[in-house]
Amino acid sequence: MKIKFQADADLKQQIVSAVLRLETAIDFQTANKANLTGLTDRQVLELAASQRRVLVSHDQKTMPNHFAEFIAHNQSYGIIIVPKKLPVIEVAENIILIWEVFSDEEWIDRIAFLPI
């Protein structure tokens, strides 16, 4: 099955817009649509996992540790950590490449740091 993505509340909206502008077939849910504002990292990970979505986040400080704790007892469809300084177009191209090459099952419990 094709990968679906979930934007974390801290992810620049421009990234979601760029991905969807370049590849309209991608399912990339915004943080607003998922009502993520105010949720804990664990709650965000639970929501993404329940919807079989790869979480895309800028949170390099706390999210990797919360992800490790989460997958110790739960299944996740993965997480992509995006450095804030990485150009939007480079992030979009990396996400599209991941979407084109991998299935969602290949991302189970996987963490990746962009660029790939």
Average pLDDT, the chain: 97
Extract the tokens encoding 50: 């329940």
Which residue in this structure is represented by tokens 């007892």?
73
- Per residue in 47-88, pLDDT tens? 999 999 999 999 999 999 999 999 999 999 999 999 999 999
Number of domains the chain contains? 1
Could you tell me whether strands 27-29 and 111-113 are parallel, antiparallel, or unpaired per DSSP bridges?
Answer: unpaired
**What is the structure's pLDDT at 93?**
98
Structural domain for 42, as ranges: 4-113
Tell me how far apart the alpha carbons of residues 109 and 96 are, in angstroms, rounded to a whole number. Answer: 19
DSSP string, 13-68: HHHHHHHHHH-TT-EEE-HHHHT-TT--HHHHHHHHHHTTEEEEE---SSHHHHHH
What is the CATH classification number for the domain harbouring 91?
Answer: 3.40.50
